[in-house]
A and B are shown apart, each in its own frame.
Chain A
Amino acid sequence: AQKVTQAQTEISVVEKEDVTLDCVYETRDTTYYLFWYKQPPSGELVFLIRRNSFDEQNEISGRYSWNFQKSTSSFNFTITASQVVDSAVYFCALSESYTGNQFYFGTGTSLTVIP
């Protein structure tokens, strides 16, 4: 079974629109970590954020915000006022304490921001 599900394969939005990327995870562990990565067309994988299971505070960084809800096992990512430079593939990942620091990646969501 998939530990991390990103149901949205591709999303297109017009510049300046807000967009939310969904991530649903599955774990039996009580201590775990969630991550988001960005992969722009150039190909590198860029770390965006880490969230610990014991910290459900939402986080905002500029136009980016993350909503972590343990009750629904979700860790969603919202980009406000999207820009063309946000066009990329975004990956959500899970790390569980009992399996060490191995990551389980989702299949990614390809975001295209149309000017």
Chain B
Amino acid sequence: DAGVIQSPRHEVTEMGQEVTLRCKPISGHNSLFWYRQTMMRGLELLIYFNNNVPIDDSGMPEDRFSAKMPNASFSTLKIQPSEPRDSAVYFCASSRTDQNLYEQYFGPGTRLTVT
């Protein structure tokens, strides 16, 4: 089975531009998570979805960040406008919560650089 797929793997953009990160979870998984990782703050949960519904977005830094999950096989994280402090690696992860299987499987990440 394919793992979690993220695109793009690398993104370099200028301050003020819109950035869209994409994620395809593992087929059959019903939960999806967006994380951000930086040296200063470590791994931060931004938002997560259960059955395509956003459950907790308290980790979203500010209104410039938004996330959607229009169906079970696709999610986006959008930053508009982007700022240099948004530079980080963004991970998407998915899990299935039936049968008490809660481990999250992570995608390869998107390394975002905002200049």
Contact = CB atoms under 8 A, between A and B. Distances in A.
A67 B21 CA distance: 38
Contact residue range for chain B?
20 to 34
Contact residue range for chain A?
10 to 19
Among B91, B95, B101, B103, chain A packs the most CB atoms within 10 A around the CB of: B103
B34 interface: no
B109 A43 contact: yes
A92 B76 CA distance: 27
B97 A101 contact: yes
A52 B99 CA distance: 12
Contact of A107 (B42, B55, B108): B42
Contacts of B43: 91, 105, 108
Contact of B108 (A33, A44, A52, A103): A44
Contacts of A102: 45, 48, 56
Interface of A: 33, 35, 37, 43-47, 50, 52, 91, 95, 100-103, 105, 107-108
19 contacts: A35-B103, A43-B89, A43-B108, A43-B111, A44-B106, A44-B109, A46-B106, A47-B104, A47-B106, A50-B103, A100-B50, A101-B31, A101-B50, A101-B95, A101-B104, A102-B56, A105-B43, A108-B42, A108-B43
